[in-house]
């Protein structure tokens, strides 16, 4: 008998429908799984056989052929265990075909028949809800939290294949109790705790307002890491759609728990020993990397020059395009990667070049080799370069009167509101850093344009650098609630543009 059951899978961040077809005929007892199934999918024959047997379901020996359609798209993961088991039950006549007609199944099976959580349930649930096909998603209890975020999709969550079989035989699929929804925000300390470093705090405010990348350069203990970790505290909250998009990426990566928790603005700080695949994504079965996990958030690269050169160079495409494209022989996967990058580095190998209180022991050649680890094309993609000096120790013990994150965030949100109105008809652009630079150059005041042109010659700016100065100037004007970019805005933007200081 031939049976077909609906399921789903994820390629990149997009879900697609999968039909699990099972044919059981007389012949030598064996299982064959086709349809570009990866090793983890082919192993499901052992898990499904043991799960059905341990659940008390006795099936006669038959030749079983399983096809995962469309058969020309690669299938990975263990989420096909449950739909394969259900399709086998239908093919052997244990379950009536009409009972599974409007059901979509996802889940891994344990050898004892329990239904275990899998990756990528949220993207599949969102696709089913958008399709509005009147279907019900049958998913593991461990994925009930993320599936509950899609409010318009009926859900059922069996604990085991035996429990699901009882529901199918009775013709009643009880609705799962949806979990209450929360938002997981990254814990961020307050800007008001930072003594001094006003130039760096101003640069981070501009970065938050316009989505610009920042490079913090200073000796150990100057406060680079402390400042970077406070950036999320001044970022505006995610919209509903952005939050679901970020949470979907974390679902694909398997980073969600069993609670209905949306991911807020992510803050990712990978160690400098991270591989290129871990940073930008990849692997034999591609997974999202740190740049995608920080989508709509902050990617903090501490000790920037300690990262492998190849890993840093791999950041060029996501910094420019806002996405990562991973090509394999059989398919291509694209992951979104619109993030604000904050890099922190020492000015030299010993860390004390330019420090008035300490003596640098590095030679000129050592400093040149150290700084050359960061290539010119990558430096050109960083909008704001800030050099920090250590705060005097006597100032650390005094009363802190610095402006808190709440007030800074209010200015950032006001600037972002102006930018959303500016780009309301531009698809995929939500802040100044994502927009084409030429449109900002054309709208500079004559005096501001003359200053930018003169600076472009003296600083030897590239075309990209020229446009990025105009973008930063536009953000500075937005923070000041000024409709026109004037000379002071361009002058401040140029302060942050110098390349790495030479020895």
Specify the pLDDT at position 400.
Answer: 67
Residue 383 structure tokens: 């909008």
Q: What is the dihedral of CA 40, 46, 52, 57, to 10 degrees?
A: 150
Across-strand partners of 444? 485
Q: Give the separation between CA 252 and CA 13, rounded to whole angstroms.
A: 7
Specify the pLDDT at position 183.
Answer: 66
CB 324 within 8 A of CB 286: no
Specify the pLDDT at position 187.
Answer: 58
Specify the pLDDT at position 436.
Answer: 87
Cis previous bond, 70, omega within 30 = yes
Q: Give the separation between CA 127 and CA 148, rounded to whole angstroms.
A: 14
Specify the pLDDT at position 254.
Answer: 86
Q: Give the separation between CA 152 and CA 173, rounded to whole angstroms.
A: 17
Selection from 236, 204, 206 nearest residue 476 by Cα: 206
- Mean pLDDT, the chain cut into blocks of 10 residues (503 residues total): 93 92 90 92 94 92 94 92 96 93 95 94 92 88 89 92 94 83 66 83 94 94 90 91 91 78 87 94 87 95 94 93 86 91 93 84 89 89 91 68 86 95 87 88 88 90 91 95 93 80 43
pTM of structure = 0.89
Specify the pLDDT at position 498.
Answer: 65
Continuous segment of H or E residues that includes residue 63 = strand 63-69
Specify the pLDDT at position 500.
Answer: 43
| First-to-last C-alpha distance (Å) of the chain | 77
Q: Give the separation between CA 107 and CA 87, rounded to whole angstroms.
A: 13
CB 167 within 8 A of CB 372: no
Question: Mutual orientation of helices 463-479 and 487-495 as an angle, nearest 10°?
Answer: 120
- Classify residue 79 by burial, with Cβ atoms within 10 Å: 0-12, 13-18, 19+: buried
Q: Give the separation between CA 326 and CA 284, rounded to whole angstroms.
A: 11
Q: For the chain, list the domains and their CATH numbers.
A: 2-170 (3.30.230.10), 191-417 (3.40.50.300), 436-503 (no CATH)
Q: Give the separation between CA 64 and CA 92, rounded to whole angstroms.
A: 10
Q: Which residue has the tokens 């026109």?
A: 484
Torsions phi, psi for 206 (to 5 deg): -65, -40
């Amino acid at each position: 008998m031939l049976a077909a059951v609906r399921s789903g899978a994820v390629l990149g961040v997009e879900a697609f429908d999968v039909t699990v077809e099972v044919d059981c005929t007389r012949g030598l007892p064996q299982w064959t799984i086709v349809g570009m199934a990866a090793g983890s999918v082919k192993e499901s024959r052992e898990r499904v056989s043991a799960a059905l047997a341990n659940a008390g379901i006795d099936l006669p020996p038959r030749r079983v052929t399983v096809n995962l359609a469309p058969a020309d798209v690669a299938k990975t993961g263990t989420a096909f265990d449950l739909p394969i088991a259900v399709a086998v039950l239908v093919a052997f006549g244990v379950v009536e075909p009409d009972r599974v007609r409007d059901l979509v199944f996802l889940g891994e099976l344990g050898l004892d028949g329990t239904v275990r959580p899998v990756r990528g349930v949220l993207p599949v649930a969102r696709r089913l809800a958008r399709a509005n096909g009147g279907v019900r998603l049958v998913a593991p209890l461990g994925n009930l939290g993320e599936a509950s975020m899609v409010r318009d999709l009926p859900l059922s969550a069996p604990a085991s294949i035996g429990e699901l079989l009882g529901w199918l035989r009775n013709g009643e699929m009880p609705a799962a109790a949806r979990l209450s929804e929360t938002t997981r925000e990254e814990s961020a300390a307050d800007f008001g705790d930072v003594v001094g470093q006003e130039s760096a705090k101003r640069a981070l405010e501009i970065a938050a307002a316009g989505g610009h990348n920042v490079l913090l350069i200073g000796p150990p203990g100057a406060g680079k890491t402390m400042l970077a970790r406070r950036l999320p505290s001044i970022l505006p909250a995610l919209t509903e759609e952005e939050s679901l998009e970020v949470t979907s990426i974390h679902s694909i990566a398997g980073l969600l728990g069993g609670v209905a928790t949306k991911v807020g603005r992510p803050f990712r700080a990978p160690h400098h020993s991270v591989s290129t695949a871990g940073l930008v994504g990849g692997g034999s079965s591609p997974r999202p990397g740190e740049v995608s996990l920080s989508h709509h958030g902050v990617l903090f690269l501490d000790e920037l020059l300690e990262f492998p050169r190849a890993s840093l160079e791999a950041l060029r495409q996501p910094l420019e395009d806002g996405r990562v494209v991973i090509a394999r022989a059989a398919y291509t996967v694209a992951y979104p990667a619109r993030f604000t990058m904050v890099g922190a580095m020492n000015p030299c190998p010993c860390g004390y070049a330019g420090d008035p209180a300490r003596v640098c022991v590095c030679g000129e050649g050592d400093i040149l080799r150290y700084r050359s680890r960061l290539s010119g094309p990558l430096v050109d993609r960083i909008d704001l370069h800030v050099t920090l000096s250590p705060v005097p120790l006597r100032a650390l013990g005094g009363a802190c009167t610095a402006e808190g994150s709440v007030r800074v965030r209010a200015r950032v949100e006001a600037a972002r509101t102006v930018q959303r109105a500016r780009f309301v008809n531009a698809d995929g652009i939500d802040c100044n850093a994502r927009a084409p630079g030429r449109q900002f150059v054309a709208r500079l005041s004559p005096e501001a344009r003359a200053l930018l042109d003169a600076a472009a010659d003296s600083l030897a700016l590239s075309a990209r650098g020229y446009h990025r100065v105009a973008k930063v100037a536009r953000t500075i004007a937005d923070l000041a609630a000024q409709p026109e970019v004037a000379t002071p805005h361009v002058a401040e933007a140029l302060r942050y543009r110098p390349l790495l200081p030479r020895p």
